[in-house]
A and B are shown apart, each in its own frame.
Chain A
């Protein structure tokens, strides 16, 4: 199949449609608005439903409503909007309603900036809303990878009955790259929902007894039992979904850890360091939750420093430290304000850590 030049936001939207997604609810926010715009026409062309919601609070509730009634549904927003959506994400984790979310993240806190940022790491991986739960989080480094992630995320969400978040950023959302689109899947027909998703609300006539999707448990023991029951599911996710890319680790004196767009810049820094005779490697977490802690066991004995590179003041670094287990000194090369790190900044930062001029 010929490659097509597409903007990240549009390619992610198209990937969802290819995956059989027929419902989208969203609210405009930079730098993800093209995704909403694309869905507004592309979904109608395939007989889907699009609603421009009145707010992110309403949008996530619509996403939730479509999910609980059996629809394959996508939502998207950017950082402050995702913050508002935590209400519905927490609800969906509580009631095990599947859907896919895309966060085309920007710098914060507050309204912050519309430029790219990676300071939503805590929000995404620690459960941005209330209660005990986990959201599956993937971080694409290219538009092609993002397309595949979105495409696969719907099946993952359905399998585990849990929301999946694709954590992209303004750079990936706004840039264009050639992509190969995946094949179109047959969407789930309304009449087949009761068979495929027997838990979904479709009217009790399809099964002879009523379904209730509820979050409230006033009896402490009942809530405890329910939360305990999530945990084997999360353990299974850890086994099945943890993924990362290890690049150039063999013999590396310094190992960078970076995800998403920052990992691309780190690759250039690795080339720069090689010119100075310094061997550097990269661990690129592909799943941010579950986090690939085991990747750190691949680091060789030549390693003198592990550096977390992030567009934040240091959020993923907490997980890097958990993975490093005090085997190497862990430091941060971070940048905020909406600016991207440059290869030179990263290379110079690494040299400083290694004590090389």
Chain B
């Protein structure tokens, strides 16, 4: 019999603690699958954020640490200095990266740090219970925007990929989505390219995953994928924003 699919060795055989329908699990698996295919699992150091995915180290079977809120890029900066030939990544949510940690992510990109950041954008704070994030869409109801986010009060949602792509040290920037099998396959290619950017020491690589948060959005897992497709993708367009010749 021919094996057509195997659970990646990069993930523990544990059921994740994420809510049903949450796409963290898919993003975890994609990153670990790619590292396994690249033969990098033994030589990887990951940094987990504050947020739901602070638990990612329970599921990803690589060396990992937790970070103070938003500071993962600073921690990864130093890890890469101590272990320049290891694969180093941060895995961060939108509260962590696009709010409290904007300074660290922008400056890590600005220095052209040679690690990868996998950014989970689900337009809301998950772990703390559904508060407004900088990525929350206009009109979206959260526990701190109960009538829906307004431009007048909160401004428009921040597009981190576009922002980071303006920085010279960010060599690879792509936005993908986890709402459909086709998009998931595309996402895997993006993760692969980001890893290659680091392997070739070209600079900072960034992949943004549009993700779901069915619990805090108040939607079923299927409806959440539809909501992502109908609302997030139009505002956060998918695709490669920046890619160096060497990994095309």
Contacts and interface: CB of A to CB of B under 8 A. Distances in A.
Given a CB threshold of 8 Å, the question of whether A touches B is answered with yes
Interface of A: 23, 25, 49, 51, 53-55, 57-59, 61-66, 68-71, 73, 87-88, 91, 95, 190, 193, 201-206, 210-216
Interface stretch (B59-67, B197-205, B213-221): B59-67
Nearest to B42: A205
Interface stretch (B80-88, B164-172, B225-233): B80-88
Given A66-B78, A203-B44, A204-B41, A91 B68 contact: yes
Contacts of B78: 23, 25, 51, 61-66, 69, 71, 73
Which range contains the number of B residues in contact with the other chain? 20 to 34
Q: Which interface residue of A57, A87, A211 has the most chain B CB atoms within 10 A?
A: A57
Interface in B25-78: 41-45, 47, 54-55, 57, 61-68, 71, 74-78
Interface stretch (B103-111, B144-152, B178-186, B237-245): B103-111
B68 A87 contact: yes
B79 interface: yes
A161 to B, nearest CB: 14
Given A25-B78, A61-B71, A205-B43, A212 B103 contact: no
Contact of A203 (B86, B104, B107): B86
Contacts of B55: 216
Contacts of B107: 53-54, 58
A61 B104 contact: yes
A52 to B, nearest CB: 9
Interface of B: 41-45, 47, 54-55, 57, 61-68, 71, 74-79, 81-83, 86-87, 103-104, 107, 111
Contact of A55 (B57, B76, B79, B103): B103
Given A68-B75, A214-B57, 18 more contacts: A51-B111, A57-B74, A58-B77, A62-B75, A65-B78, A71-B78, A87-B71, A95-B65, A190-B82, A201-B45, A201-B63, A203-B42, A203-B87, A204-B62, A206-B42, A212-B57, A212-B65, A214-B66
A23 B71 CA distance: 18
Contact of B81 (A49, A61, A95, A216): A49
Nearest to B40: A203
A297 B66 CA distance: 45
B77 A69 contact: no
Q: Which interface residue of A59, A87, A202 has the most chain B CB atoms within 10 A?
A: A202
Nearest to B104: A58
Contacts of B81: 23, 49, 51, 66, 71
Contact of A61 (B62, B64, B75): B75
Contacts of B71: 57-58, 61, 87-88
A42 to B, nearest CB: 16
A129 to B, nearest CB: 10
